[in-house]
């Protein structure tokens, strides 16, 4: 029996990211300046969905500075919270929060 594929609906037209943060010493390149930004381990899932309570994916795996990305989410809940992290070194923490948290309306079809 074929498995029914969930309907994933776009939550935004696009999200704009400004990844390069505050001005840093000019002797550092862009990657070094970005990696000096404060990091967080909050991107690591501590209570993941285990029965398809929420599903989602992004239209791209990487976004250039100032680029757009579409996010698609499927959930039966009326609302959900979105936080976006940029993955990188960040002092060994593995990520930096760049957006959120934002509460958005859920979509289930």
Burial of 109 (0-12, 13-18, 19+ CB in 10 A): exposed
Residue 48 pLDDT: 92
What's the confidence (pLDDT) of residue 15?
A: 44
Q: Which helix (H) or strand (E) holds 31?
A: helix 30-35
Kindly give the parts of the chain with pLDDT less than 70.
Answer: 1-25, 109
- Amino acid 89: pLDDT: 86
Q: What is the pLDDT of residue 25?
A: 54
Closest by alpha carbon to 10, among 74, 103, 82, 72? 72
pTM of the model: 0.68
């Amino acid at each position: 029996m074929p498995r029914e594929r969930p309907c994933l609906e776009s939550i935004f037209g696009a999200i704009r990211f400004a990844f390069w943060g505050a001005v840093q010493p000019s002797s550092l390149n862009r990657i070094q300046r970005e990696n000096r930004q404060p990091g967080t381990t909050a991107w690591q899932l501590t209570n993941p969905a285990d029965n398809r309570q929420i599903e989602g994916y992004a239209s791209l795996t990487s976004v250039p500075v100032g680029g757009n990305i579409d996010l698609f989410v499927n959930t039966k809940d009326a609302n959900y919270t979105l936080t976006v992290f940029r993955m990188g070194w960040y002092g060994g923490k593995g990520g930096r929060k760049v957006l959120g948290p934002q509460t958005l309306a859920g979509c289930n079809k």
